[in-house]
Structure 1
Amino acid sequence: MTIPRAVRQPGQAPDEAARRAPGGPLQLPRGRASRRLAVLTFHDVDDAAVFRAQLDRLRRTASPVSLGEVEAAVRGGAPLPPHAVLVSFELGHRTAATTALPALAACGVPAVAFVVAGLVDTEQPYWWNEAEYLVEQGGWARGLSSRPQGLPGGPGRAGGVAAALAALPDPDRRRSLQELRVTARRQAPGTPQLTSADLLALRDAGVVLGNHSLGHARLDSCDDYVVREEVQGGHHRLARLTGEEPRAFAYPDGVFDGRAEPLLRGLGYSSAFLTDGALFDLRGASGGRPDPLRISRLQVNTGTPRGLFDGVLSGWNPAARRLRGAVAV
């Protein structure tokens, strides 16, 4: 199954009738809209009907673009159309293949899926979900006992333990997680992850597969060796699984780390993505070219209110403006 692209000429704006239709996007000046890219990133697509409705609205009111078009525009090639939107998926949730892919194919919307390569073909839960479960089962760790009490749920309690662990240096995070496993009454249940077959299905359908590290360790908490293992290890395993070397990277937790840049450039990456809740300005700093290894993204899901979703498609920046009175799609 290959995702058919919606017919659109380079630089063509969304259909004018759709732009005037009730429920269409709020309009911005053309120049402002044409220089901003909205990169939407979904985690778990847990409602197929709502996701399909979101894609339908995207096609009617914005311009879905591919990763290749984005990379070309960032290099100074053909400009993106007004209200350009790139759809992405993160963490490697299986719903990218089982739920999202049929909707993408039906709507002709291109996408990129960022994969935690070390989790493919496993049932290993995400470490933050595992930590929360273990704490609920009475698990404790010395590295969490002295964490400040300002975190949701408090240190060592469900709701705050993931944030507390994320704030630790990576060796301490790994050690604390292992202590939670030893001291908890029960181990966390498995989480079916993307399989090798899922990856090939996504690739064959035209979804670009990107590297989201080997084990999703937050890079700014890692030493140089682990940063290299997370970036290069994820790259090489994904290449072995798919037969293609990834060219796009998503920073774990969306947090940039400068040590990754030379590694990514050395591996031939064309783009890398943050998760900073902002639109990406294609003008770059001081009107120059933007940095292809620091492309902004917005996190959305099937529960994102329709008003906010439409605002993003129209070029509103959620980091700068809050929408009120929104209703679900």
Structure 2
Amino acid sequence: MSGAMLKDVSKKLLYTSGLLGLYHRLRNADSLTVVMFHRTLSPDDPRWATCDPDYTLATRWLEQSLAFFRRHYSVVSLEQVLASRRTGAPLPPRSLLITFDDGWADNAHYALPALKRAGLPALLFVVADAVGTRQPFFQERLIGAWRRGALGVRELAAALPAGEAPGAEVDETIGALREVIARLEALEADVRVRVLEPFMARLDDGHRHMVTVEELHQLEAGGVALGLHGKTHTPMRLAADLDAELAGARTALAQHLGQTHASAESMSFPHGSFDAAIAQRAREAGYELLFTSVPVLNPTTPGVGWLLGRTGFETDAVVDARGRFREDWLALYLFRRQARRLA
């Protein structure tokens, strides 16, 4: 047996023996775990062919993840976390909050029914300006166009301004594409628009990807609370108008929902981009709970903090090379996180 196989068997035994679960029950009793999903699609959905594979779980894997949460955690709602923050009321042992970022239509089409079947609440962070739009953010459109052969990485890299192109020879892999996308993200918005303009006709895959107002109402009615993920999905540290991304996002979502005032109490930082000053500005804009992409567990005693860590949920954390959902991987991935109060 090879070393890699022996290590894999050891992980399975550690989990199936119950020792890892016991470790979790003792170690994480006074912690809030916040998990961060993005998309979930059925592989027979036409959008599957163009989605970002790293941030999209097949529906069966989401359902298995929810079953795992039910076995090992007390899944809580946003209202429970807010109540703990406001009153000091204790959360149940090994609390876990399920969150989704961006505002994808598939959150209503697939995640909501799965959550209902499991009897679990969740929290969706919506990009205000994306509500009701067809096509996703430019990053996902580029990945979708590359996956269906409508755009090449070398072609896109060649369009970057002088001095911004990768130094080495560019290959046609998703890793190289992500590097080019990162360089596009760092450009000024007007420069990026000019670079992408010649490709725009090729970036539309003909499908609707983003959530509608009607679907937001369906999600709320189904037990999914709504928070904000910025107004435009711009990284907060790069935002030209931070007030628009913070207070403006709350106002825009309220208008979408037909509310007379902004009621969203929580937000997550797009791309995980924030600093202490931005976090304070967000509090001043009316957000009681702010969620980061810092992958730590959140202590719940003597109470829940206002700045919370989240653990990203990418496909390779739970699915092996043979396409099998791995509970032992997920347990090792979540149970051993450091517990640390961010604020």
- TM-score, normalised relative to structure 1: 0.76
How large is the Cα RMSD of the aligned pairs?
Answer: 3.3
- Aligned match of 1:207: 224
> Following TM superposition, by how much is the alpha carbon of 1:44 offset from its aligned partner in structure 2, in angstroms?
0.8
Work out which of the residue numbers 280, 299, 310 in structure 2 matches 1:297. Answer: 310
- Aligned match of 2:10: none
> Following TM superposition, by how much is the alpha carbon of 1:54 offset from its aligned partner in structure 2, in angstroms?
1.7
- Aligned match of 2:234: 217
> Following TM superposition, by how much is the alpha carbon of 1:201 offset from its aligned partner in structure 2, in angstroms?
0.2
> Following TM superposition, by how much is the alpha carbon of 1:106 offset from its aligned partner in structure 2, in angstroms?
1.5
Secondary structure class of the residue paired with 1:27: helix
What are the residue-to-residue correspondences of 1:266-285 with 2, within 5 Å?
266-283=284-301
| Richer in helix (by share) | 2
* Correspondence 1:249 to 2:275: no
User: Structure 2 CA distance, aligned partners of 1:85 and 1:75?
Assistant: 18
Work out which of the residue numbers 179, 182, 185 in structure 1 matches 2:195. Answer: 179
* Correspondence 1:49 to 2:49: no
- Aligned match of 1:165: 184
User: Structure 2 CA distance, aligned partners of 1:319 and 1:184?
Assistant: 44
- Conserved in 1, the CA contact under 8 Å of 2:84 and 2:90? yes
- Conserved in 1, the CA contact under 8 Å of 2:84 and 2:304? no
Structure 1 residues 188-225: Cα deviation after superposition (integer angstroms, max 9, x where no partner): 435421011110000111210010011100111223xx
* Correspondence 1:308 to 2:329: yes
User: Structure 1 CA distance, aligned partners of 2:178 and 2:123?
Assistant: 30
- Aligned match of 2:125: 114
Q: Which moved more, 1:231-240 or 1:68-77?
A: 68-77
* Correspondence 1:264 to 2:290: no
- TM-score, normalised relative to structure 2: 0.73
User: Structure 1 CA distance, aligned partners of 2:226 and 2:101?
Assistant: 10
Secondary structure class of the residue paired with 1:122: coil
What are the residue-to-residue correspondences of 1:74-153 with 2, within 5 Å?
74-75=85-86, 77-132=88-143, 133=145, 136=152, 138-139=155-156, 140-143=158-161, 145-149=163-167
Give the residue type in structure 1 aligned to 2:294: D
Work out which of the residue numbers 210, 223, 248 in structure 2 matches 1:233. Answer: 248
User: Structure 2 CA distance, aligned partners of 1:173 and 1:67?
Assistant: 34
User: Structure 1 CA distance, aligned partners of 2:299 and 2:190?
Assistant: 37
Query: Does the C-alpha gap of structure 1 residues 183 and 58 become closer, same or farther in structure 2, counting only changes over 3 Å?
Result: closer
